[in-house]
Amino acid sequence: MNQIRDILDTMEYGPAPEDDKDVRAWLTSHKTGFGHFIGGEFTKPGGKTFEVHNPANTEKLADVAIADAGDVDTAVAAANRAQKKWQALSGNQRARHLYALARHVQKHARFLAVLETLDNGKTIRETRDIDIPLVARHFYHHAGWAELCDTAFPGYEAAGVCGQIIPWNFPLLMLSWKVAPALAAGCTVVLKSAEHTPLSAIAFAEICAEAGLPAGVFNLVNGAGETGAALAGHEGIAKLAFTGSTEVGRLLRRQTAGSGKKLSLELGGKSPFIVFDNADIDAAVEGVVDAIWFNQGEVCCAGSRAIVQEGIADRFHDKLRARMEKLRVGDPLDKSMDMGAVVAPVQIREITAKVEAGLAEGATMWQPSWARTVSNADGCFFPPTLFTHVAPSSTLAQEEVFGPVLASMTFRTPGEAVQLANNSRYGLAASIWSQNLDEAFDAARTLKSGIVWINSTNLFDASAGFGGYKESGFGREGGREGMLEYLVPSWQKKAKSLPASDPLPAPTPAPGGSGAGLDRTVKMYVGGKQARPDSGYSYPVSGKNGQHLAEVGLGNRKDIRNAVDAAHKASGWSGMTGHARAQVLYFLAENLELRAAEFAARLTETGTSSSAAKREVEASVARIMHYAAWADKYDGAVRAPDKRMLTLALNEPWDVMGISCPDEAPLLGFVSLVMPAIAMGNRVVVTPSPRQPLSACDFYQVLDTSDVPGGVVNIITGDRDTLADTMAKHDDIAALWYFGSREGTELVERESAGNLKPVWANNGKARDWFDATQGQGEEFLFRAVRIKTIWTPFGV
């Protein structure tokens, strides 16, 4: 037994074990195994099962049934039966159910914390003080959204049955992030737990029954990749939400392409941890502990890339090594441990392989003096590890390790720091440490990350949206933006399918020309100038009686490439104030109105009646004015998750977008898509109606006379799907809007999987472009921005 005198001499912690007898008793009561939770009841365990082990000592905890396609069918059917009744409840009634779930989570908080630690290997301090309180917070927060949903989101309704697939690093917290907003919106859920860590989801299912949640509203199936694939591909699912690896995210994007399912993906990360030379170094060192050694580094937004200013790098690394020496790794049920166990042996092998790759590439590794003791211990333990002299292109700097491994590099200027930080295919999170808030916020605005923490790291709250840029996925969880992921405009569920489009006329000579006038081939518009197609080919456009009107350039991938280059050069448009952009758009509306008769005549040539043509031009002018009005008003939000913390939800442009326009209402459809995009600061590469492109091509003459900078709007004519395919694959197009056929939707969603750009598509459904609900509004503005959440402390 420790003597007080000895403790004062060594200042070592004594053992502080958490009691696990209640969880052990629960596991013993289910020694025959766990089934699935479907329609408000647990299925009997049987058939194929998998074993669940405690990663801290490899002890077997339970057997869990593996769901096959039949089990998934049954769960989806139960969710569908419950969905209409659940959606029909008043907001107050759904709020009461979510409130009850929050209360019951709190009542069982200690049990859930211990269970999560046994199942996952994370320390009891983290599950008790971070994970479980945040689980309750999410259900409380979304109980409020359930109450307010009808008034806060007028014209929207629940997406339907949601398939949700969660990871093993935060099993119960990720469940709450997905289940709470889905239930608040009026959706029902079929959730697949992670194969390494299914136990807390099973316990949550018991809580749902205990709290009186209606049968079928929450359903749970267990299993591995095959179960997830069966759920993702099920026709009864209207929305799929996934958190996990980027590789699996790509598979799900391809699998769901053309299905009409809403999809949100929260994927991998390689988050930078930037330390400027004026930072509080001691605070930054503690920030590193929370950034990369929290949860053993098994965090998608872990600050795994330290980017340190040269002048303080040696001092920073010395302090960091001294702090690492004091970290405690061991039994995660011991309340004095800093780090617990990695989730499974397979993860240890993957971390080890990345570490060996780093050594082979010449980086310098440092581990605490006691590291070998941890590595040789029973269970899945890996010591905290620091790499210095890391090249920006190395494996450690570019690939997600998903373990307690920090790669450090240096920079000289703030601009270089941002370049290093953005030199990644990921864009989930970033952390900035500086006592100069001007410097910190300037960096925060230029980082390509969905989350930025200033002088802090790994902070989360239900009110603050969470999600990434680039290959870290799309969609948001938390806040108002997270609710919109589970809602759809009510009119869309009744939308009719568009008829199939005929192929474009072949670019071959056609008889019947008069030769009386000068022949004109309509040019494309790239970088503010008319441009001939790279191919040299054109195709004919016909009028209402089949008469030949003009030849239009047949665009190809090189034309798209040139347009994307021009759009990137027009970056000054994104840096303009909303007010300045509004003035340009008002000028654009003014000039279109001056030429209204000319544009109406063009529409009449293509088969529109004179009255309908006049109406379309007038609607186009009004639509430009509508988005001119929004240009300086569609702002973000300030939230206060803590008394000394603000989060700023900033609406940022995608920068360069691709837009494929519909055939119907060729002028109004074009204007309705281009205007909200550029009003929000984007530059666009747009393909107009392939059948009737002339009014959109005439429109570039209005752009030329309205102070729209060259490169902001680039118009490429040709086959919609051929050009959309190229835009979907293009790495320098950040987002794509597609309004065409169902087959085209499937094409662009599938081909966008390579770079995981978000796609907004109509799935072959008709939209009334004249209607103020369907043709304009917040839906367009929301799709025209990506939301960056900046966390900043104050008064500390």
Range from 112-126, 239-253, 545-559 carrying the lowest mean pLDDT: 545-559
CB burial class (10 A; 0-12, 13-18, 19+) of residue 202?
A: buried
Q: Residue written as tokens 């060594």?
A: 10
- Banded pLDDT at 375 (limits 50, 70, 90): confident
Range from 150-164, 174-188, 782-796 carrying the lowest mean pLDDT: 782-796
pLDDT tens column, 196-207: 999 999 999 999
Distance CA 22, CA 39 (A): 27
| Run of H or E including 92 | helix 91-107
The alpha-carbon radius of gyration of the chain (Å, integer) is 28
Three-class DSSP category at 560: helix
Identity (one letter) of the amino acid at 251?
A: L
Backbone angles phi, psi at 607, to 5 degrees: 115, 0
pLDDT tens column, 98-111: 999 999 999 999 99
Q: Is the pLDDT of residue 15 over 90?
A: no
Q: Is the pLDDT of residue 13 over 90?
A: no
Three-class DSSP category at 469: strand
What is the mean pLDDT of the segment spanning 640-645? 92
pLDDT tens column, 570-587: 999 999 999 999 999 999
- Helices 91-107 and 132-152 sit at what angle, rounded to 10 degrees? 180
Q: What is the separation, in whole angstroms, between the first and last Cα of the chain?
A: 41
pLDDT at residue 191 in the model: 98
Report the catalytic residues: 266, 300
Q: Considering the chain, what percentage of its residues have pLDDT values greater than 90?
A: 92
What are the residues whose beta carbons fall under 8 Å from the beta carbon of 27, sequence distance 6 or more? 61, 62
Three-class DSSP category at 339: strand
Sort strands 188-192 and 218-221 into parallel, antiparallel or unpaired: parallel
Q: Is the pLDDT of residue 695 over 50?
A: yes
Q: Which residues pair with 64 in a beta bridge?
A: 34, 50
pLDDT at residue 503 in the model: 84
pLDDT at residue 12 in the model: 74
Q: Is the pLDDT of residue 184 over 90?
A: yes
Single out the residue of 676, 493, 503, 449 nearest to residue 581, CA to CA: 676
What's the residue count for the chain?
796
Q: Is the pLDDT of residue 795 over 90?
A: no
What is the mean pLDDT of the segment spanning 760-775? 96
Distance CA 61, CA 25 (A): 11
Q: What is the DSSP string of 37-60?
A: EETTEEPPP-SSEEEEE-TTT--E
The gap from C-alpha 43 to its chain's centroid, in whole angstroms, comes to: 34
- Banded pLDDT at 8 (limits 50, 70, 90): low
What is the mean pLDDT of the segment spanning 466-477? 97
Single out the residue of 356, 364, 367 nearest to residue 410, CA to CA: 364
What is the mean pLDDT of the segment spanning 735-739? 98
Distance CA 130, CA 126 (A): 5
pLDDT tens column, 200-253: 999 999 999 999 999 999 999 999 999 999 999 999 999 999 999 999 999 999
Ranges assigned E (strand) in 519-636 = 521-522, 524-526, 529-531, 538-542, 548-553
- Give ∠ CA 704-705-710 in degrees, rounded to 5: 30
pLDDT at residue 516 in the model: 46
- Banded pLDDT at 607 (limits 50, 70, 90): confident
Distance CA 539, CA 531 (A): 15
Tokens coding 248:
């699996």
pTM for the whole structure = 0.95
Going by the DSSP 8-state scheme, the letter that residue 259 receives in this structure is: S
Single out the residue of 329, 442, 425 nearest to residue 383, CA to CA: 329
**Diameter over CA atoms, the chain:** 109
Q: Is the pLDDT of residue 518 over 50?
A: no
Going by the DSSP 8-state scheme, the letter that residue 295 receives in this structure is: G
What are the residues whose beta carbons fall under 8 Å from the beta carbon of 756, sequence distance 6 or more? 246, 249, 250, 253, 265, 267, 470, 471, 473, 474
Q: If you count DSSP H runs as helices and E runs as strands, how many of each does the chain have, helices first?
A: 29, 34
pLDDT at residue 11 in the model: 65
What are the residues whose beta carbons fall under 8 Å from the beta carbon of 583, sequence distance 6 or more? 628
CA distances from 489 to 523, 767, 779 (A): 37, 12, 8
Please say whether the beta carbons of 525 and 196 come within 8 A: no
Please say whether the beta carbons of 207 and 101 come within 8 A: yes
CB burial class (10 A; 0-12, 13-18, 19+) of residue 528?
A: middle
Single out the residue of 727, 715, 717, 789 nearest to residue 758, CA to CA: 727
Three-class DSSP category at 116: helix
- Banded pLDDT at 468 (limits 50, 70, 90): very high
pLDDT at residue 2 in the model: 56
| Run of H or E including 789 | strand 785-793
What's the chain's average pLDDT? 95
Q: Is the pLDDT of residue 421 over 80?
A: yes
CB count in 10 Å sphere of residue 97: 23
What is the mean pLDDT of the segment spanning 549-571? 96
Q: What is the DSSP string of 676-731?
A: HHHHTT-EEEEE--SSS-HHHHHHHHHHHTTTPPTTSEEE--S-HHHHHHHHHH-T
Going by the DSSP 8-state scheme, the letter that residue 464 receives in this structure is: S
What is the mean pLDDT of the segment spanning 698-715? 96
Q: What is the DSSP string of 672-687?
A: HHHHHHHHTT-EEEEE
- Banded pLDDT at 568 (limits 50, 70, 90): very high
